[in-house]
A and B are shown apart, each in its own frame.
Chain A
Amino acid sequence: MVHISDGVLPLEVLAAGFVLSGILLFLTLRGVRAEEIPRISLITAALFVASLVHFPVGPTSVHLIMNGLAGIILGKRAFVSVLVALTLQAIFFQHGGISVIGVNSLNMGIPALLAWQVFERRRGFGYPRREIVFGAVAGAVAVLGAVLLLSAELLLLGEGFSEIATLVLMAHIPIVIIEAAVLGTTAGYLDKVKPEMLVPAKAGQIRGA
C-alpha cells in the first residue's frame, strides 16, 4: 500500500526515480558473487510471499511490507531484492505501476538499507533480547521511511495535495506498529534458530553457500 500509482507523478520525479535507482543498483550490486544470486532470489521470493500476508486492523486488513526484513537479512543487497519484488508486484498485481518502478524502489529500498544500518547498531549492546528490540526499531524505520518519502513526493505536487499526504501518513501508522511487532519477533526468532542468517558484521557481505 505504500506504492505510488501510475499517473500521479510528473516527468521530473519519474525520471529522477529511475536514474537514482540505477545508480543505487549499481553501487549495491558491485562485487556480487555467483553464490549470492540464488540466496538473494529466494529471499526476494520470500519477501513477495510475506507481502501477501494480511494482518487484521479492526474491520479491515493491511498487508505486510517487510522491506526492513530484506535489510536485516541481505544488507546492501536488499536494494536489488526490493526492486525485483516491486517489479514483480507491479506486473502480477498492478500494485504501483511500470512508470513508477524507479520511484517506488527508492521509497522502499532506501529505508531497507536504513533498517540494515539501524539493526547493525545492536552489536554495541549486551542486552540479551537486543535482536527483538533492534528488529522492531528496524521494522518501524523501514516503513516509516517509505511513507515519509511517499508523502514528500505527494507534497511536491503542490499545495492541494497536503491533505492527501497527511491521510497517507495517518493510514500507515497502524502498519508501522504491526511491522515493528512482526519484524521484532522474526529477528528474535532468526537469532535463536539460525543466527548466521542475519547479516554478518563485515559490511553487506552475505554469507556464501
Chain B
Amino acid sequence: MSHLEIDGYSHLSSPIHRWDPRVKIVSMLVLIFSIVLLKSLAVALLGLAISIGLLLISRLPFAYVSQGIKWPALFLLPFPLILPLTMDGDMALTLYGLSFSVEGLEQGLLMMTRGLAAVVLIYPIFGSSPFNTTIHAMRSLGLPETVTQIFLFAYRYLFLLREQFTSMTRSLSSKGFTKKTDLPTARVLGAALGMLFIRSYERSDRIYKAMVSRGYNGHLPDSERFKINGFDLVKALMVLVLAFGLQGLDHLAVV
C-alpha cells in the first residue's frame, strides 16, 4: 500500500522536471498514443527504447520505477505466452503435437512491448511534478471543474482513508482475525468496509460544512499560474518529432 507517492521524486531537477506541466502532459500523451498504436514489433521496441530514454533523462530512481512496472508486466504476459498457441499463422511450427505460430508470438510481443512502453512513460509524466500541480495543469487544459475538484479532494482523502483502514486492519488482527477463503472472512471485510464508508460519509458532512464556512461555493480559485517559455516548446517539438517519426517508420515497416 505504499505506492501512493507517485510524486515522491518531483523535487528532483531534470529537463523533464523543469518542463511546463501542460506542455509536458500534451506532448507526452501524443507520444503514448503514437506508441500504443504501432503495428511493427521492431518500431515498438524502438518506442520502448525512447520511453526508457525519457525516463533516464527524468532522473527518477530506477528501483522506484521497476517496482511499479512489475504488475502491468504480469498482466501483459499472457499475450505473448498464449497467442502463439491460439493464433493461426503461415509459419506454424509443430512440436510434440502443439503448433506454435510465429505470427501469434509476434502479435503477443508487440502488445507487451507497446504496453510496457506506455507504462514506463507514466513516470516521467506524473512523477516529475507534484500531483496537485498535474491536476491544476489538466484543469487549464480543459478538464471540467467538477471533475477537477473530485480529483483534488479524492487525492487528499486517499491518505486519510488509507491510514484509517490500516488502523482498522491492525485492530482486527489483534483480535485474532486472519483472512481465509470463506464466508466469515467476506462478512468481516464487508462490515469493515461498511464502517470505513460510514465514517467517510459522516466525515464528508463535516468537511463540507468546514469548507462552506471558509467560503467554498462549488468553485476553486485559480491557484496556479503556468508560464510557457521557449525551452518548453523546444522539448515539446522534440517529443512530437519522436511521436510522429515512430508512426512514419511504422508505415514504412508494415508495407
- How would residues 105 to 125 of chain B score, 1 for a CB under 8 Å from any chain A CB and 0 otherwise? 001001111111111001001
Kindly report which residue of chain A lies nearest to residue B25, judged by CB atoms: A98
**A95 touching B71, Cβ below 8 Å:** yes
A117 lies within 8 A of chain B by Cβ: no
- B residues near A14, Cβ cutoff 8 Å: 33, 36
**B158 touching A49, Cβ below 8 Å:** yes
Question: Which residue of A41, A57, A81 contacts B149 across the interface (Cβ within 8 Å)?
Answer: A41
**A7 touching B112, Cβ below 8 Å:** yes
Bound-state CA distance A37–B212 (Å) is 12
B96 lies within 8 A of chain A by Cβ: no
Question: Which residue of B4, B36, B86 contacts A162 across the interface (Cβ within 8 Å)?
Answer: B86
Question: How near does chain B come to A137, taking the closest CB pair, in angstroms?
Answer: 15
Interface of B is mostly: helix
Contacts A32-B146, A55-B179 hold; do A41 and B153 have CB atoms under 8 A apart?
yes
- B residues near A190, Cβ cutoff 8 Å: 194, 197-198
B248 lies within 8 A of chain A by Cβ: no
**B180 touching A56, Cβ below 8 Å:** yes
A204 lies within 8 A of chain B by Cβ: no
- A residues near B160, Cβ cutoff 8 Å: 45
- How would residues 140 to 169 of chain B score, 1 for a CB under 8 Å from any chain A CB and 0 otherwise? 000010110111111101101110010000
Question: Which residue of A8, A66, A85 contacts B111 across the interface (Cβ within 8 Å)?
Answer: A8
Question: Which residue of B4, B115, B187 contacts A97 across the interface (Cβ within 8 Å)?
Answer: B115
Interface of A is mostly: helix
Bound-state CA distance A87–B88 (Å) is 36
4 smallest CB-CB distances across A and B, nearest first, come from A185-B190, A7-B114, A34-B218, A7-B115
Give the interface of B toward A (CB within 8 A): 1, 3-4, 6, 29, 32-33, 35-37, 68-69, 71-72, 75-76, 78-79, 82-83, 85-88, 104, 107, 110-119, 122, 125-126, 131, 144, 146-147, 149-155, 157-158, 160-162, 165, 179-181, 183, 185-187, 189-191, 193-198, 200-201, 203-205, 207-209, 211, 216-218
**A-B contacts, 28 listed (Cβ < 8 Å):** A3-B75, A5-B75, A6-B32, A7-B36, A7-B116, A8-B114, A25-B144, A29-B147, A38-B204, A42-B201, A45-B200, A46-B196, A53-B165, A53-B193, A55-B185, A85-B154, A88-B158, A93-B3, A94-B69, A95-B72, A98-B122, A160-B86, A167-B78, A182-B190, A182-B193, A185-B194, A186-B190, A186-B197
